[in-house]
Amino acid sequence: MEFNSQIVTTPPRPAATIVMLRDGADGLEVFLLKRHGLSDVLGGVHVFPGGKVDLRDAELDMDLHLDRPQDELRANLGEQDLDARTAAGLYVAAIREAFEESGVLFAQGARQQDALRAHALLREGHAFDEMLGRMALRLDCAGVVPWSRWITPTVPSMMTKRFDTRFFVAAVPADQIARHDEHETTESVWIAPRAALHQYWDGTMQLAAPQIMSLAHLTHYGSVASALAAARARRPPVVAPEPFDDEAGRVICYPGDERHSVAERALPGPTRFYLRNKRFEPEGGFEALFKPAL
C-alpha cells in the first residue's frame, strides 16, 4: 500500500455511500466490496458500496419516488447549509450507487426479483430515474440512516482526489442478495467488523481510513437494530482529518486530538493514525481501535 503526499487543491466532490448491515450467526456483519485494482480511486481497497453524486440525482421527481419529504431528509442530515433538494439528492445518490455496485435496491417492497428487473433495465440503457418510473418504485429513505460525513483533506493519504462523502447505514433487505459487479468491483464479502480489521492488520485486506474508523465504530454494536438506533439518536458527526508531519513521519489526526482544529471528538476509537508499515496504525496498536464508545 502506497501513501500519497501530493497536495490536492481542487474542492472535494460530493459522494455518498451506504454501510450495508445484517445480523449474522455471531453478531453484526457488514458488506464490503473490493475495488478493481486498476481503479483510479482506491484501487484494490475494500470499501462500502457508494460513489460520486450525479447532477441527475437531485432532478428526480422527489414527491413521486421518495418515501419521505425532502425537508425531513434535510433535517436528518443535520446540515444547515444544505437545501432540501440537495439533501434528498444525497439519499438518491447513496441508494443509486449502492444498487449499481451491489445489486441491492433500497425501495419500498422491493424483493430480489424486483432488483433483478431493475438491473436489467439499467443494462438496457435506462437511467436510474427512468427505471424507478417504469417500475413505479419509491426509494426507502426511511431505512437509510445518516451515519457520518467524511471530508478528504488537501493531502489525502491513499488517492489524488478529494471527496465530501455522506455515509449512511442500512439493513440489507432480507430477501435481496448483495454481490460485486465484476467490473468496478472484483470481490465481495459479508464480515464482522472486527474480523475485517484483523485482516487489515494482517495485511490480507486493504482499507482506507474512513472504512477503518467506521468498522471500529461498528464493533460497539451487537446487532443491526442497535446500530440503526444509535445512528437515529445522534447528529451525524463531521470528520475532516488533518495531516501533519513529526519525527515519526506522517500523522493523520481527527476531531478531539490535541493537534486537530476541532476539540470535540467525533467518533470513538483513536484520534490519530501514524502512516507506517504500509498501514494506518493508531498509537497503542491494534487494540487502540476499540476504545469505548462516546
pLDDT, tens only, 79-135: 999 999 999 999 999 999 999 999 999 999 999 999 999 999 999 999 999 999 999
Task: Flag whether pLDDT at 216 surpasses 70.
Answer: yes
Q: Let me know if residue 230 belongs to a domain.
A: yes
- Residue 155: predicted pLDDT: 65
Task: Flag whether pLDDT at 13 surpasses 70.
Answer: yes
Task: Flag whether pLDDT at 1 surpasses 70.
Answer: no
Which residue has better confidence, 191 or 294?
191
Task: Flag whether pLDDT at 158 surpasses 60.
Answer: no
Q: How confident is the model at residue 4 (pLDDT cuts 50, 70, 90)?
A: low
Mean pLDDT estimate for the chain: 91
- Residue 33: predicted pLDDT: 95
CATH number, domain at 19?
3.90.79.10
Q: How confident is the model at residue 7 (pLDDT cuts 50, 70, 90)?
A: low
pLDDT, tens digit, 9 for 90 and up, residues 134-150: 999 999 999 999 999 99
Which residue has better confidence, 277 or 105?
105
Report the greatest alpha carbon distance in the chain: 60
Q: Let me know if residue 118 belongs to a domain.
A: yes
Q: Let me know if residue 290 belongs to a domain.
A: no
Q: How confident is the model at residue 46 (pLDDT cuts 50, 70, 90)?
A: very high
- Window from 28-32, 228-232, 274-278 with minimum mean pLDDT: 274-278
In 152-211, at which residue ranges do the beta strands (DSSP E only) sit? 163-171, 185-191
Q: Let me know if residue 151 belongs to a domain.
A: yes
- Residue 151: predicted pLDDT: 94
Q: How confident is the model at residue 153 (pLDDT cuts 50, 70, 90)?
A: confident
pLDDT, tens digit, 9 for 90 and up, residues 259-274: 999 999 999 989 999 9
User: If you average pLDDT over residues 53-67, what whole number do you get?
Assistant: 95
Q: Let me know if residue 268 belongs to a domain.
A: no
Q: Let me know if residue 283 belongs to a domain.
A: no
User: If you average pLDDT over residues 58-85, what whole number do you get?
Assistant: 96
User: If you average pLDDT over residues 243-258, what whole number do you get?
Assistant: 89
Range 238-262 burial, b when 16+ CB lie within 10 A, else e: ebbbbbeeeeeebbbbbbbbeebeb
Q: Let me know if residue 272 belongs to a domain.
A: no
Q: What one-character DSSP code corresponds to residue 42?
A: T
φ/ψ of 77, rounded to 5, equals: -75, -25
Domain range enclosing 17: 13-206+218-234
User: If you average pLDDT over residues 232-255, what whole number do you get?
Assistant: 91
- Residue 230: predicted pLDDT: 97
pTM, to two decimals: 0.93
Whole-angstrom distance, CA of residue 293 vs CA of residue 265: 11
- The total of structural domains in the chain comes to 1
φ/ψ of 82, rounded to 5, equals: -90, 135
- Residue 37: predicted pLDDT: 57
Q: Let me know if residue 2 belongs to a domain.
A: no
Q: Give the helix, strand, coil percentages of the chain, each rounded to 5.
A: 30, 25, 45
* Residue 219, all three cell numbers: 464493533
Task: Flag whether pLDDT at 160 surpasses 80.
Answer: no
Task: Flag whether pLDDT at 294 surpasses 60.
Answer: no
